[in-house]
Structure 1
Amino acid sequence: MKHFIVEINYLVPVDQLSDVLPNHRAFLQTGYDRGLLLLSGPREPRIGGMVVARANSLEEIQEFFNNDPYHLQKVATHTFIEFNPVLHQPWLDNWVKG
């Protein structure tokens, strides 16, 4: 299992996201339900968001986020940073090892 930080950068002011935000959060929930996502939330200041994710490959997580309403509505971009979680809290062991 590969691990990723997904950086979401808004292309529009945050006040223009109110219509798509509920769909974006519903989309993220599908990632939690599938076990792809560990945590997510907006950045401060509100210029985007951050996600900690895992998948079998970079292509798999990119394909998942290609269905993000933010991507589909062209209001944000996604940057994928792969990393190796060498150290982690013991209670995350099952998630990290996949």
Structure 2
Amino acid sequence: MFILSLTYVKSLSEIDRLIPPHREYLAKYYASGNFLFSGRQEPRTGGAIIARAGSRAEVEEIIKEDPFLIEGVAEYEIVEFVATMTAPDLDGYRES
């Protein structure tokens, strides 16, 4: 599993301009099963995505498609973790 932390490095007006293509990007990776949760930070300084992938290299390839990254309005931090405990409703995501 991966925590993808986005930090906005440009104005919110530039971020807002890219929301529609960013949401299309998110939808693609929700459909593929790579993205599990996402949303903006409060205060609105960035966002976060919980993702699953076979490797960090795969995640790095996926984020290269984000319009926020392509247009240089956000930077990503990738944190890999092993989900050894989950809420009962999320047992299918538990890793050993």
TM-score (norm 2): 0.92
Query: Contact between 2:6 and 2:76, CA under 8 Å: does it hold in 1?
Result: yes
Percent of residue pairs bearing the same amino acid type: 34
Give the Å deviation of 1:95: 3.7
Q: Which residue in 1 is equivalent to 2:40?
A: 42
Give the Å deviation of 1:89: 1.7
Gaps of 5+ in 1: none
Q: Which residue in 2 is equivalent to 1:31?
A: 29
1: CA distance, partners of 2:7 / 2:86: 26
Q: Which residue in 2 is equivalent to 1:17?
A: 15
Query: Contact between 2:86 and 2:93, CA under 8 Å: does it hold in 1?
Result: no
2: CA distance, partners of 1:95 / 1:27: 22
The C-alpha deviation readout for 1:35-62, integer Å capped at 9, x for no partner, is: 0011000000100000100100000011
TM-score (norm 1): 0.90
Task: Give 1 or 2: higher strand fraction.
Answer: 1
Q: Which residue in 1 is equivalent to 2:77?
A: 79
1: CA distance, partners of 2:61 / 2:81: 18
1: CA distance, partners of 2:45 / 2:79: 18
Task: Kindly report structure 1 stretches of 4+ aligned residues shifted beyond 4 Å.
Answer: none
